[in-house]
């Protein structure tokens, strides 16, 4: 919970202190971003290399698995319709590897009002008609503003330290400026926490294991990829055989039904 | 993974899940036991076939009795320790495990008695000898109880005789439950009868459910009730798992109630819970409580559920013939070591990952300049084990095929693999599997002769000539009323054929068959080995009644091996010794000048996985160390010398 000094007690000194804190937060965010960026790049590179070699086989596996599931449910539906009392064949154990839940996100931006206030503040302080730099910054920020997935902190990160940060606009008094900056502080704090968590998440990312394999030696990485190809090929052979069996079964069911 | 490219250009929709990335480093780490009972021995066997579970409440660890030994899961550390025959167990096939109140771990072998763990090796509890234990359980004070056909024993410590010995209840118990009798007052000192009286002792066997009362077993039903598979005591209730569902008996009111479960079917495992009992019924795991049947998930298992256990944080551990699973928060997840030989290959959304099959039926070594490959034919597929990199492969094209024979060509380029139902296949490096045309399955054995390859099938003898397999002797032309089972060739002009009704000699040019006279003319020949030794041919004939050595018309039995089925023979030319696999152990015949001696290896004096040997082969490492690979029904054993 944000813990403001009481409105009447806001002083310029407190505001200055808050500004210093904001500046520090921005710097911490930059450091966190610098730390995360190479790791993300490395993981993406390792994964891309892995996918370039094994990806086709993995896609084939996904397709076969989906087709198997589809055929199996088709056969199950049919046999259930045929005989409701018949016990269901339980060949599917898809609890083992749970599907990732699709995140349902609301299109409504929870920080829309705060982003509005920021944009309004910028409009009051910058002069895009006169200053080309201001015009470019504003265009950039407007793009982010209209993106519902961009947070207030994303906008603030794009905003260079300067007049927009330190100046009170004509519609604000000291207390209102302080409140606005407090909201920005909260957004930046959240951003910093998210970045820290994201770094931790990268160490747990399945791609991290790939990157570790890649780091061992080029020969090890080559052998690892060769083994992945073999394993994936072997799985695909098995899946194909299973699919063929299901297709055959379905063919038998439908031909029996026709006759 | 932000870019899910596999979702593009697909004819069918797929879920939002990516395939798991197969990185072994992320798997749980294996710890080696601190000691070995048989240093030269090792075993490669899957520990997915779970038969019983035990929880160590002091350490928070889980112990699994499996068809491939004991698996110790150090849950907090996500590490595991494997124990197999070389660690003192009498073979790999373990049926039950228990951790008593003092933290002592006990195991029951399928046939050969009770063992306990001390200093990381398994030692026999000699007082009961090689008694066949049918179940292990703990009483409310944490004491171990063992159920056998010859009696029920309560055991306190490894070095003392059982402190209670109860008479047998007819048939061996399938399960036992021992609860504290609440109506007994304090008394000391405690005699055997008094301890037995203080406990409410229940068991079920092929005759029904029994309670131990007034120094004898009393069956609770008037008639024989053979359908009770397992039981558990919980509060005032005795729960019975039967072929046809779950039954609760309120012992204070003597009323029984059939529990309605989602699926009808047999109840194969029970585990008491404060609110009722966890049960595996009709392939589904659920909690049978006052409120009724609460399934853990909607899913049903195909693999038999053998054991349930309530662990910490209300987790339910589920032991199945396809591995260990963990039930928590309405989810069931596999809890595997993710290491070979438990896991060899990839899991799919619908299937658990493949595992090494314990029934090892054929072995062959492919020797390259820089490494050796061991080919392993099992009842559930073909496996390749690189002895240099220790990497594994299970061939997808022969997945679930029953592989009966393997040979490697003399140039080491081709591996021939015979399957029971899919014929004969050749494998070359970097090439796809090729299936040989014009050869009928099943092929029972393959051999590399002095100048050619031979395959023996139920329909006759095949020869590999001009890059094709051709039938040279149909089974109808055999001069005996039997079928071909074995073949050996050491010289170019003839080949030895073993049939189920006698030994034959076949001329390689004319294919003329001659029956051997004498006892070997009608014996059931199971294995053959022909070698050139001292410029003469020496033939070993393994039969269902022992081993013979000789040539043409002069055959001598090996006295030490009489009445044993000789299943496999392999000659070690570096050590001038013959390895002999039998149905009752492994033997080494060592030539010492004009005499010879025989050494015996079995599950008690070695790390052999099982006494029944099915296949043998030898590999030699760079350090000139010889490895004898032994295929058994309980995995692959290895003896290094």
Domains of chain B: 5-334 (2.130.10.10), 360-640 (2.130.10.10)
B291 touching A (Cβ < 8 Å): no
pLDDT of residue B211 exceeding 70: yes
Determine, for residues A207 and B12 on separate chains, whether the beta-carbon distance falls below 8 Å. Answer: no
Q: In this predicted complex, what is the ipTM?
A: 0.82
Tens of pLDDT, residue by residue over B373-406, are: 999 999 999 999 999 999 999 999 999 899 999 9
Of B566 and B369, more confident = B566
Residue of B nearest to A62 (CA): B14
What pLDDT, on a 0 to 100 scale, did the predictor assign at position B153?
96
Question: What b/e sequence results for B157-193 when a residue is b if at least 16 CB atoms lie within 10 Å of its CB, and e otherwise?
Answer: ebeeebebebeebebbbbbbbbbeeeeeeeeeeeeee
B395 touches chain A (CB under 8 A): yes
Q: What is the mean pLDDT of residues B582-587?
A: 97
User: Under an 8 A CB cutoff, do B399 and A237 touch?
Assistant: yes
Per-residue pLDDT, B118: 97
Backbone angles phi, psi at B219, to 5 degrees: -75, 140
Residue of B nearest to A72 (CA): B350
The low-confidence residues of chain A, meaning pLDDT below 50, are 1-2, 85-106
Across the interface, whether the CB atoms of B346 and A70 are under 8 A apart is answered: no
- Name the minimum distance, in Å, from the CA of A110 to any CA of chain B: 23
Q: Residue A259: its pLDDT value, please?
A: 63
Judge whether B332 is closer than 8 Å to chain A, CB to CB.
yes
pLDDT at A81: 66
Query: Is A209–B25 a contact, with Cβ atoms under 8 angstroms apart?
Result: yes
Asked if the model's pLDDT at residue B246 lies above 70, the reply is yes
**Cα(A71)–Cα(B171) distance, rounded to whole angstroms?**
47
What is the pTM for the complete model shown?
0.85
What is the overall mean pLDDT for chain B?
91
* B90: exposed, middle or buried (Cβ count in 10 Å: 0-12, 13-18, 19+): buried
CB B354 within 8 A of CB B334: no
pLDDT per residue over B43-95, tens digit each?
999 999 999 999 999 999 999 999 999 999 999 999 999 999 999 999 999 99
Rounded to a whole number, what is the distance in Å from the CA of A91 to chain B's nearest CA? 7
Contacting residues for B356 by C-beta, under 8 A, at least 6 apart: B44, B45, B46, B340, B341, B342, B344, B378, B383, B392, B394, B635
Lowest mean pLDDT, pick from B100-104, B276-280, B290-294, B361-365:
B290-294
* pLDDT number for residue B198: 75
Q: In this predicted structure, what is the pLDDT of residue B24?
A: 64
Q: What percent of chain B has pLDDT over 90?
A: 78
Which strand ranges, in their side-by-side order, compose the sheet holding B79-83? B29-31, B79-83, B69-74, B61-66, B50-56
Chain A residues inside the 8 Å CB shell of B336? none
- Domain ranges, ordered by start, for chain A: 7-50+109-216, 217-259
Residue B10: pLDDT above 50? no
A145: burial class by Cβ within 10 Å (0-12, 13-18, 19+)? buried
Q: Please indicate whether, in this complex, the C-beta atoms of A230 and B347 are within 8 angstroms of each other.
A: no
CA distances from B550 to B320, B537, B558 (A): 50, 9, 11
Distance from the B5 Cα atom to the nearest Cα atom in chain A, whole angstroms: 8
- The answer to whether B349 contacts chain A (CB < 8 Å) is yes
CB contact under 8 A, B393 and A47: no
**What's the gap in Å between the CA of A78 and the closest CA on chain B?**
20
Q: Is the pLDDT of residue B553 over 50?
A: yes
Which is more confident, A138 or B143?
Answer: B143
User: Is there a contact between B499 and B480 (Cβ–Cβ < 8 Å)?
Assistant: yes
The confidence score (pLDDT) of residue B591 equals: 81
pLDDT on residue B402:
96
Instruction: Give me the pLDDT at residue A103, please.
Output: 38
Using CB atoms within 10 A of its CB, is residue B363 exposed (0-12), middle (13-18) or buried (19+)? buried
Q: What is the pLDDT of residues B268-319, one digit of tens each?
A: 999 999 999 999 999 999 999 878 999 999 989 999 999 999 988 889 999 9
Comparison of pLDDT for A129 and B98, the residue scoring more: B98
């Amino acid at each position: 919970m944000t813990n403001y000094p009481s409105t009447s007690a806001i002083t310029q000194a407190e505001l200055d202190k808050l500004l210093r804190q904001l500046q520090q937060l921005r710097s911490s965010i930059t450091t966190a971003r610098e730390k995360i960026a190479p790791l993300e790049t490395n993981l993406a590179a390792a994964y891309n290399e892995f996918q370039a070699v094994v990806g086709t086989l993995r896609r084939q596996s996904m397709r076969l698995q989906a087709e198997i599931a589809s055929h199996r449910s088709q056969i199950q539906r049919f046999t259930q319709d045929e005989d409701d009392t018949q016990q269901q064949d339980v060949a599917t154990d898809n609890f083992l590897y749970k599907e990732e839940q699709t995140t349902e996100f609301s299109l409504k931006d929870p920080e829309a009002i705060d982003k509005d206030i920021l944009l309004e503040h910028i409009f009051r302080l910058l002069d895009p008609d006169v200053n080309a730099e201001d015009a470019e910054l504003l265009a950039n920020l407007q793009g982010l503003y209209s993106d519902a997935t961009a947070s207030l902190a994303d906008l603030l990160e794009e905003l260079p330290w300067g007049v927009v940060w330190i100046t009170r606009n004509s519609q604000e008094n000291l207390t209102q400026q302080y409140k606005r900056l407090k909201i920005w502080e909260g957004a930046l704090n959240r951003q910093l926490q998210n970045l820290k968590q994201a770094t931790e998440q990268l160490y747990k990312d399945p791609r991290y294991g790939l990157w570790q394999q890649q780091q061992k030696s080029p020969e090890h990485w080559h052998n690892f990829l060769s083994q992945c190809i073999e394993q994936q090929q072997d799985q695909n052979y098995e899946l194909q055989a299973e699919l063929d069996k299901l297709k055959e079964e379905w063919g038998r069911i439908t031909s029996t039904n026709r006759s | 993974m932000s870019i899910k490219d596999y979702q593009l250009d697909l004819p069918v929709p797929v879920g939002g899940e990516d395939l798991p990335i197969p990185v072994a480093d992320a798997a749980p780490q294996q710890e080696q036991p601190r000691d070995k009972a048989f240093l030269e021995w090792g075993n490669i066997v899957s520990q997915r076939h779970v038969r019983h579970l035990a929880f160590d409440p002091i350490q928070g660890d889980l112990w699994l009795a499996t068809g491939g030994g004991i698996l110790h899961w150090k849950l907090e550390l996500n590490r595991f320790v494997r124990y197999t025959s070389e660690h003192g167990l009498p073979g790999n096939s373990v049926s039950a495990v228990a951790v008593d109140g003092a933290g002592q771990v006990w195991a029951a072998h399928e046939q050969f008695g009770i063992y306990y763990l001390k200093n990381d090796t398994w030692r026999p509890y000699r007082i009961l000898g090689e008694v066949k234990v049918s179940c292990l359980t703990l009483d409310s004070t944490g004491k171990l109880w063992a159920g056998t056909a010859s009696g029920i024993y309560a055991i306190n410590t490894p070095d003392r005789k059982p402190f209670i010995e109860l008479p047998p209840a007819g048939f061996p118990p399938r399960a036992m439950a021992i609860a504290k009798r609440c109506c007994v007052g304090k008394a000391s000192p405690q005699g055997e009868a008094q301890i037995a009286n203080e406990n409410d002792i229940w068991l079920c066997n092929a005759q029904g459910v029994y309670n131990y009362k007034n120094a004898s077993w009393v069956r609770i039903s008037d008639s024989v009730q053979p359908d009770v598979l397992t039981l558990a005591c919980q509060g005032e209730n005795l729960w019975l798992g039967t072929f046809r569902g779950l039954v609760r008996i309120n012992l204070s009111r003597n009323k029984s109630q059939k529990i309605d479960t989602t699926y009808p079917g047999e109840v194969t495992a029970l585990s008491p819970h404060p609110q009722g009992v966890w049960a595996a019924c009709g392939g589904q795991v659920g909690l049978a409580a006052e409120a009724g049947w609460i399934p853990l998930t909607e899913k049903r298992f195909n693999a038999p559920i053998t054991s349930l256990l309530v662990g910490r944080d209300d987790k339910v551990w589920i032991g199945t013939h396809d591995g260990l699973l963990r039930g928590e928060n309405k989810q069931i997840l596999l809890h595997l070591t993710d290491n070979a030989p438990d896991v060899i290959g990839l899991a799919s959304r619908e299937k658990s990952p493949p595992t090494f099959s314990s029934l090892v039926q054929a072995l062959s070594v492919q020797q390259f300049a820089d490494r050796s490959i061991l080919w392993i034919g099992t009842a559930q597929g073909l496996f390749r084990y690189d002895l240099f990199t220790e990497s594994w492969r299970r061939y997808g094209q022969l997945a679930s095929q029953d592989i009966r024979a393997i040979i490697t060509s003399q140039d080491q380029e081709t591996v021939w693999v015979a399957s029971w139902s899919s014929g004969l296949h050749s494998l070359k490096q970097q090439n796809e599997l090729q299936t040989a045309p014009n050869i009928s399955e099943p092929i029972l054995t393959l051999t590399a002769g002095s100048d050619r390859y031979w395959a023996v099938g139920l329909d006759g003898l095949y020869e590999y000539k001009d890059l094709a397999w051709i039938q040279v002797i149909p089974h109808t032309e055999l001069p005996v009323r039997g079928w071909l089972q074995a073949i050996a060739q050491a010289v170019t002009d003839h080949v030895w054929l073993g049939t189920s009704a006698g030994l034959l000699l076949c001329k390689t040019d004319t294919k003329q068959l001659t029956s051997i006279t004498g006892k070997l003319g009608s014996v059931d020949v199971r294995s053959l080995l022909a070698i050139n030794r001292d410029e003469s041919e020496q033939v070993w004939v393994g039969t269902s009644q022992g081993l013979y050595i000789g040539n043409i018309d002069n055959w001598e039995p090996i006295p030490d091996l009489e009445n044993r089925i000789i299943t496999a023979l392999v000659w070690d030319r570096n050590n001038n010794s013959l390895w002999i696999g039998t149905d009752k152990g492994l033997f080494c015949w060592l030539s010492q000048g004009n005499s010879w001696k025989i050494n015996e290896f079995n599950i008690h004096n070695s790390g052999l996985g099982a006494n029944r040997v099915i296949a043998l082969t030898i590999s030699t490492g760079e350090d000139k160390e010889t490895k004898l690979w032994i295929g058994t029904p309980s995995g692959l054993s290895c003896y290094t010398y």
